[in-house]
Chain A
């Protein structure tokens, strides 16, 4: 760790947060499948509970294996720290629940993952937290939607499913002018493609189920804090700047100048809502992260080949990939995502709904399922699956039609994927 700057991304992906185990010499990160951790003495126990010492008490609050994952993702994002959660949805809920309560308001992009839309539009509304949805590219709309009770702005680095690139520099400036933080879902891009903190975002979360894990084996989430938002100066977050009766009267912003948000999220949200990650899950996600740089490069390389193939195919009406001419986010993508726009994208088939179904059912290598970011290639029909709860108007606002097909390009040989698509498109053509 000597030298004049921190290690590079690939080194951090392997080493951040981890060292050979001092007790056993184990080089790989051990899986600490233990609910709880022994105190040296009563004084030691009291000091851990009272935050006079750092350490692990109970695995709902923290765990040594999870801590490695948390430090590693924070390192890759350029953040101050992180919290591993039971899922990406749990990470989003933890972020919101830490900053908002009944009567609060959120401004969110309308191009969200269906699960996030459900949480904001239906579930949180039931708990008194309202959301105004704004098209991600409607900059004036973001500004106009902010109210006195707004607590955060929220969007996805690449909107689902149209891949609208979130203009993080502009939207974070709008948020900061209003003394509010910007929360970003970075699942589709991962820190290898973009680090939202470098562009002004304050909080980032991932569904680690996707590219970070990369192998389609576990569900998990990670919430990361940049440590840069000034909660005191904002004046809008008494949860962080005034004594919290639920934890020793602690004023989190006094306790840590850069970790107030994470302290409260862990000491309240993780403790009380309990959506923690299993250490076994954390370990599997760590295995994935070790090869994240290699996998993301291959994901993008394969995706560019598939996009080019589909864009030239007569059965395809349009391909929604921001690197293509005509995509509304092309200029932003060149600026914010020079390494590529990920490997999840949609295309619209020329033809009927039946032809779309025929295409999906004819694919042999692509798996028909509700996930993205797997090392295997995946396919789904959003209107009948991930976004099925949305009515036609909401679907249209999210840029989805009945003929939209979403692909998640994996790590197979690109030629095999193209052959698979070629065969399936021919089947779809015959199904007319």
Chain B
């Protein structure tokens, strides 16, 4: 689905069904260097279970026009503007990694628009190591390989994503390389990871969140390990769902994540 947001073309995947703003809405917000395609199984399930789905591509990612926006706060405003452009007055926001910060900030800025938060692979602050930031600046392809290895916890993600026969390491690497190649003017990898590292509004945002929140955490997550989510869970009074996966949990454990999402949508 193509939309005009702040004067620029934006794209949101709607789960294989036309978006109906009259249905309860679920907005999926991807992480750094990703696009909507990390959500397609969950998005299709929601779309076929009576939800209106918007799996967004952030500006400068996937099919949405650039440039990328400069901060989590700007992306939160943009996400709310996209919902408005689609005719959705309220939504459950489901974020992954960097997308969890955007969802959190959006819920704080417009609590009346956010009915639930579901945060996959989150931490606050979302500090990024100097080693990775330096690699991002000087050798983004190497940085992609580093993040890929840290994000996936097993050489055998079953039943694989989005279907059997896909090699999750290879498809995630290809996705990040394709994202990096979208613009020759900007180092998207460095941009996205610096944006995570720079976000400082988490504590204020958490204090303003009023909706039920669920954290879905990978037991083997090395990027946002389970211990990093404890304070966040307490501050948000969140329900925590553990899934047997690493950071890239929607691809590594799609069924377990779906079970967690179903539970969250009933809260």
| 0/1 string, B39-65, CB within 8 A of A gives 1 | 011001100100000000000001100
A232 to B45, CA, bound (A): 25
Q: Given B16, B48, B161, which contacts A54 in the complex, CB threshold below 8 Å?
A: B161
Question: Could you tell me the distance in whole angstroms from the C-beta of A145 to the nearest C-beta in chain B?
Answer: 28
Interface presence of A1 (CB below 8 A): yes
Are B169 and A75 in contact, with the CB atoms below 8 A?
yes
Interface presence of A160 (CB below 8 A): no
Are B162 and A259 in contact, with the CB atoms below 8 A?
yes
Are B167 and A16 in contact, with the CB atoms below 8 A?
yes
Interface presence of A18 (CB below 8 A): yes
Are A257 and B175 in contact, with the CB atoms below 8 A?
yes
Are B155 and A7 in contact, with the CB atoms below 8 A?
yes
Query: What are the residues of chain B within 8 A of A266 when measuring CB–CB?
Result: 163, 165
Question: Could you tell me the distance in whole angstroms from the C-beta of A320 to the nearest C-beta in chain B?
Answer: 34
Are B156 and A71 in contact, with the CB atoms below 8 A?
yes
Q: Given A16, A228, A249, which contacts B177 in the complex, CB threshold below 8 Å?
A: A228
Query: What are the residues of chain A within 8 A of B209 when measuring CB–CB?
Result: none
Are A71 and B41 in contact, with the CB atoms below 8 A?
no
Are B159 and A1 in contact, with the CB atoms below 8 A?
no
Query: What are the residues of chain B within 8 A of A62 when measuring CB–CB?
Result: 163-165
Interface presence of A79 (CB below 8 A): yes
Interface presence of A248 (CB below 8 A): yes
Interface presence of A50 (CB below 8 A): yes
Are B155 and A18 in contact, with the CB atoms below 8 A?
yes
Are A71 and B165 in contact, with the CB atoms below 8 A?
yes
User: Which single residue of chain B is at the shortest CB-CB distance from A78?
Assistant: B170
Query: Which of B16, B164, B178 has its CB near the most chain A CB atoms (within 10 A)?
Result: B164
Q: Number of A residues contacting the other chain (C-beta, 8 Å)?
A: 55
Are A263 and B163 in contact, with the CB atoms below 8 A?
yes
Q: Given A257-B37, A257-B175, check contact A81 B165 (CB 8 Å).
A: yes
A248 to B47, CA, bound (A): 13
> Which residues from chain B sit less than 8 Å from chain A, CB to CB?
13, 16, 35-37, 40-41, 44-45, 48, 62-63, 145-146, 148-150, 152-156, 158-167, 169-171, 173-175, 177-178, 222, 246, 254-255, 258
> Which residues from chain A sit less than 8 Å from chain B, CB to CB?
1-7, 12, 15-19, 47, 50-56, 62-64, 66-68, 70-71, 74-75, 78-84, 226-228, 230, 232, 248-250, 254-259, 262-263, 266
24 A/B residue pairs, CB under 8 Å, sorted by A: A4-B145, A4-B149, A15-B155, A52-B48, A53-B45, A53-B254, A54-B255, A62-B163, A64-B164, A70-B165, A71-B165, A75-B167, A79-B167, A80-B170, A81-B167, A81-B170, A227-B171, A227-B178, A255-B37, A256-B37, A257-B36, A257-B37, A257-B175, A259-B166
Q: Closest 10 A-B residue pairs measured CB to CB?
A: A227-B174, A81-B166, A74-B167, A70-B165, A62-B164, A19-B156, A80-B171, A52-B45, A257-B37, A67-B164
New A-B contacts (6) at CB < 8 Å, excluding given A16-B155, A52-B41? A4-B145, A6-B169, A53-B45, A64-B158, A257-B62, A258-B175
